[in-house]
Amino acid sequence: MFWSEIFGIGLFASLFTIVLALLALVDILKNEFTGYNKLIWVIVVILLPLFGSILYFVIGTNQKITKQESKQEAVTEKEKEK
């Protein structure tokens, strides 16, 4: 009974980590970031799945570029070209 409880907890923790990392990676790849932030977050989540995913959801989601910000950047670039 003791080993089955440990195995169950370990299995749950492993599945939780995998699901959390996959959710973080999907969110990272679907959104825009400035500079190399997207690449950095992908590397952090792959190398440190649990810690990297938690960090991304706490810190990284604030670094995403919204659609309004990206439209504003495009307008600013067009104005610079003129």
- Compute the distance between CA of residue 14 and CA of residue 47 in angstroms, rounded to an integer: 15
Contacts of 29 (CB under 8 A, 6+ apart): 38, 42
Amino acid at 54: I
What is this structure's pTM?
0.74
d(CA 41, CA 1): 40
Higher pLDDT, 66 or 43: 43
Query: How many distinct structural domains can be found in the chain?
Result: 1
Phi, psi angle pair for 65, to nearest 5° = -90, 125
pLDDT at residue number 70: 63
Residue span of the structural domain in which 59 resides? 2-81
Q: Is the pLDDT of residue 25 over 90?
A: yes
φ, ψ of residue 33 in degrees (nearest 5): -135, 160
Write down the mean pLDDT value for the chain. Answer: 85
